[in-house]
Amino acid sequence: MKKPVDFSTYKRVKQLSFNEFNRWVTEIYKSAYEDGATENPIQDECVAALTEDRLMEILLSTKGIGQKRANAILDSILQEGTSYYGT
């Protein structure tokens, strides 16, 4: 595997001040972010791989899970999902 930093870069970075090092790392981050954004742009319309209806079908097809339990599970999943994204 190719090393991400060659020895001369390491020696140069080792001598940087804290602020210089932060700027250097920030530039690397920005460059990587821009490369990723142009390489794989975010789609305007994302489609859920698993819809609520499909999840309910899966739960109801599971032995031992009835409508009441499936609703409780689905509510818990949806509540966790919305709290995770802050909505």
- What are the tens digits of pLDDT across the range 16-55? 999 999 999 999 999 988 888 777 766 666 666 788 899 9
How far is Cα 60 from Cα 68, in angstroms, rounded to an integer?
10
Query: Is the model's pTM score more than 0.75?
Result: no
Q: Is the dihedral of CA 19, 24, 25, 31 positive or negative?
A: positive
Question: Tens of pLDDT along 59-72?
Answer: 999 999 999 999 99
Note whether 53 and 61 are within 8 A (CB): no
How far is Cα 6 from Cα 1, in angstroms, rounded to an integer?
13
